[in-house]
Amino acid sequence: MNLPVLLALLLGAASALHLRTPNFESPGGDESQPQNGETAEHEAKEVPGGELTQLSIDEDGGSGSECALEEERAVKAISDLGTVDKSFQCPKKEDTVELVGSPGYKTYQRYLLVRQPMNFNYAQYTCQCCYRGQLTSVHNFNFNNHLQCLIRGLNYGQVWIGGLVTGVGHCRRFRWMDNSSWNFGYWAPGQPAIYNGHCVTLCTRGGQWRLSHCYTQLPFICSY
C-alpha cells in the first residue's frame, strides 16, 4: 500500500471518531449544564450552616455533659457570691411583709417580702435558714401580677425571685431554686439578656422580669 492511500485512511478514521464524540453529551448539547461535581457543590452551599452546626451538636454525645458542666459552674459561682458569716442574723420583723391572698396557689403556701437588700445568694440562704423556704417561683400571670401589686410601693425598682438562667444558645437552661418546673415567663422586651447577669428579678412597676448580676443588693420574696 502506497503512502497517499495510507494517509487517506488515517484521516477518515479520525474524522469518524470526531463526529461520534457529541453522542456522549446531553441531547440538548447545553454546554452550560453543570457537571455532577458542580451540582453537588452548589447544593451544599444552599444548606444553612446553622442546620449543619445543630446536627453536629445533636449527634455529639458530649454536648449534654458540656451543658451540664456549664450550668454547674454557673450555680457554683452563685453559691460563691458570699460565704455567710457567723454574724448572720435573720431580718427583723419590721423589715418583712407577709404577702396574703395569693391566687392560684395552695392554701398552705406562704409568701414573704424581705425589704432588707441582699445579693441573690444571701437572699436564697435567708429564705432557707430563716423561713425554711426558697426564693419564690412564679408559674402564672395572675400570681405574677398579684406580687407586683403588693411590692409596687418599694423604693427599689426590682426584687429577687428564685429564677436562674445559665448557659447560652443550645446550652441555655431556665430553672427555679425550688426545683419546680419552668412553665411560665414574663420577660421585659430584650430579655433574657445573659450579659446583664444570670439571676431573675421582678420589676416593681409592670411586673416584667429582667436578668441582673447576682451580686446586686435587692429586696426579695420568699415562699415557704
pLDDT top residue among 186 and 20: 186
Out of 19-23, 111-115, 152-156, 175-179, pick the least confident.
19-23
Q: What is the pLDDT of residues 172-182, one digit of tens each?
A: 899 999 999 99
Residue 33 lies in a domain: no
Going by pLDDT thresholds of 50, 70 and 90, the confidence category of residue 88 is confident
Q: What is the pLDDT of residues 137-173, one digit of tens each?
A: 999 999 999 999 989 888 899 999 999 998 877 888 9
In sequence order, which residues have a C-beta less than 8 Å from that of residue 154 and are 6 or more positions away? Answer: 115, 204, 219
Q: Please give the Cα distance from 171 to 184 (Å, whole number).
A: 19
C-alpha cell at 104: 392560684
Maximal C-alpha separation, the chain: 126
Residue 201 lies in a domain: yes
pLDDT top residue among 32 and 104: 104
Full residue range of the structural domain in which residue 178 is found = 110-223
Q: Please give the Cα distance from 210 to 200 (Å, whole number).
A: 6
Residue 87 lies in a domain: no
CATH of the domain at 163: 3.10.100.10
Query: Domain tally for the chain?
Result: 1
List the beta strands (DSSP E) in 19-73. none
Residue 207 lies in a domain: yes
Cα→Cα distances 86→43, 83, 93, 129, 219, Å: 66, 10, 20, 13, 22
Residue 184 lies in a domain: yes
**Total number of residues shown for the chain:** 224
pTM summary value: 0.66
Residue 49 lies in a domain: no
Residue 183 lies in a domain: yes
Q: Please give the Cα distance from 197 to 83 (Å, whole number).
A: 20
Residue 171 lies in a domain: yes
